[in-house]
């Protein structure tokens, strides 16, 4: 049994990670400031003898005793991270500094939840970990993209300078239950609009692509990454290499929900990547044969069922 800290633990990914760590027999300390995370995501864990929740903002130092740290704290959808871009950058950078400092003091292993956004609007397809990316440093998405890139820099500098045990995963588009219905991400947008019978909004002509990984597959990769040998740091791409256009995704959602929603097209937002697909060769090799197992149709069906319940409760 280990004592494990999960920052951003009440968020979409964080709450699923807390579930998995408890299932594996660990003590879990969930830290969140509830900017995008919600108490509802962890309500089912209240009263669990090995679970503790703490309201805390990672831009301030944290003094606790743990064996491992998963650093997931940061708003991940454009709607949220552009709401307060300065705070978003501070969360990525100051949060990384504080968690790395804690890990160094404790001698703890620490995993950084980085992002495919470090690749920006890529010129290389699919993206490999050796690609340095093509990111606009002064655009509307830069608070998130550059914040995460700087966090990776800090992690590797702590590894080189202090020999800290670090693990870095670059997360590609992930979806599933507990996504926030108004977070602006494409899967939740399409599903909510379809279930409400509203027009489904596609930005651009719908030809831009993404690769969608179901949350359970993503969490499995993170847990395996934390368990790799001390000398392996990553970064490692984690995501589903199956690539779909936005138009294909919208059509799938309409078919699976039985919706009569119409597709409407609007201008592409600034700096929105045209292509996004992970090369997961390294993950397959380093994470004991890990690869996604849940097909998009199956994952979408589970996510649609979740949102049906959420929207019914909202009424």
Catalytic residues: 144
The CA distance from 94 to 88, in Å, is 10
Residue pair 219/176 in contact by the 8 Å Cβ criterion:
no
- C-beta of residue 201 within 8 angstroms of C-beta of residue 250: no
Residue 205 has pLDDT above 80, yes or no: yes
Homologous superfamily (CATH) for 3-176+213-240+278-293: NAD(P)-binding Rossmann-like Domain (3.40.50.720)
Rounded alpha-carbon distances, angstroms, from residue 113 to 40, 143, 155, 191, 262: 22, 16, 11, 25, 36
| DSSP symbols for 105-141 | HHT-EEEEEEEGGGGBS-SSSSB-TT---B--TTSTT
Give the integer Cα–Cα distance in Å for 120 and 112: 18
Residue 315 has pLDDT above 60, yes or no: no
Distance CA 67, CA 109 (A): 7
pLDDT in tens, 233-250: 999 999 999 999 999 999
What is the residue extent of each domain of the chain? 3-176+213-240+278-293
Q: What is the pLDDT of residue 77?
A: 67
Q: Write the pLDDT tens digit of every residue in 175-199.
A: 999 998 888 789 999 999 999 999 9
Average pLDDT over residues 33-41: 94
Tell me the DSSP string of 256-280.
HHT--PPEEEEPPPTT--S---B--
pLDDT band (50, 70, 90) for residue 119: very high
Provide the pLDDT confidence category of residue 84 given band limits of 50, 70 and 90. confident
For the cut 80, the answer to whether the pLDDT of residue 121 exceeds it is yes
At a CB cut-off of 8 Å and minimum separation 6, what does 268 contact?
Answer: 203, 204, 208
* Residue 20 burial class via C-beta count within 10 angstroms: exposed 0-12, middle 13-18, buried 19 and up: middle
Bridge partners (DSSP) of residue 6 are: 30, 70
Mean pLDDT of the chain, nearest integer: 94
Tell me, rounded to whole angstroms, the distance of Cα 22 from its chain centroid: 19
pLDDT (average), residues 24-47: 96
Residue written as token pair 């978003």 = 88
**Per-residue model confidence (pLDDT) at position 195:** 96
Residue 238 host element (H or E): strand 236-238
Of 211-220, 262-271, 303-312, the range with the lowest mean pLDDT is 262-271
Per-residue pLDDT band at 271 (split at 50, 70, 90): low
Give the whole-number percent of the chain exceeding pLDDT 90.
82
The pLDDT of residue 251: 95
Look at residue 146 and tell me whether its pLDDT is greater than 70. Answer: yes
Give the Cβ contact number of residue 155 at 10 Å. Answer: 26
H or E element, residue 81 = helix 78-81
CA 96 to mean position of chain CA atoms: 16
Are the beta carbons of 51 and 30 closer than 8 angstroms? yes
* pTM exceeding the 0.85 threshold for the entire prediction: yes
């Amino acid at each position: 049994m280990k004592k494990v800290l999960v920052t951003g633990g009440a968020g979409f990914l964080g709450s699923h990670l807390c579930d998995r760590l408890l299932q594996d027999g660990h003590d879990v300390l969930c830290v969140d400031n509830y900017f995008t995370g919600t108490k509802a995501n962890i309500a089912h864990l209240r009263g669990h003898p090995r679970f503790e929740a703490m309201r805390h903002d990672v831009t301030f130092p944290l003094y606790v005793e743990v064996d491992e740290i998963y650093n997931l704290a940061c708003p991940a959808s454009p709607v949220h991270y552009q709401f307060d871009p300065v705070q978003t950058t501070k969360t990525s950078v100051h949060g990384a500094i504080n968690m790395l400092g804690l890990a160094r003091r404790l001698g703890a292993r620490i995993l950084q939840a980085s992002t495919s956004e470090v690749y920006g609007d890529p010129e290389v397809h699919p993206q490999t970990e050796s690609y340095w990316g093509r990111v606009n440093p002064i655009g509307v998405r830069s608070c998130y993209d550059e914040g995460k890139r700087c966090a990776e820099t800090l992690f590797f500098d702590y590894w080189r300078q202090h020999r800290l045990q670090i693990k870095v995963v670059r997360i590609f588009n992930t979806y599933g239950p507990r996504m926030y219905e108004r977070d602006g991400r494409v899967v939740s947008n399409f599903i909510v609009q379809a279930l409400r019978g509203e027009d489904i909004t596609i930005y651009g002509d719908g030809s831009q692509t993404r690769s969608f990984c179901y949350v359970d597959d993503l969490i499995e990769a993170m847990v395996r990454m934390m368990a790799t040998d001390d000398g392996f740091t990553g970064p490692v791409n984690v995501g589903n290499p199956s690539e779909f256009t936005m138009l294909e995704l919208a059509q799938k959602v309409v078919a699976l929900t039985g919706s009569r929603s119409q597709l409407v097209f609007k201008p592409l937002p600034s700096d929105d990547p045209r292509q996004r697909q992970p090369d997961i060769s390294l993950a397959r090799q380093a994470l004991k044969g890990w690869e996604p197992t849940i097909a998009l149709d199956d994952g979408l069906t589970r996510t649609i069922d979740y949102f049906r319940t959420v929207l019914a409760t909202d009424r």
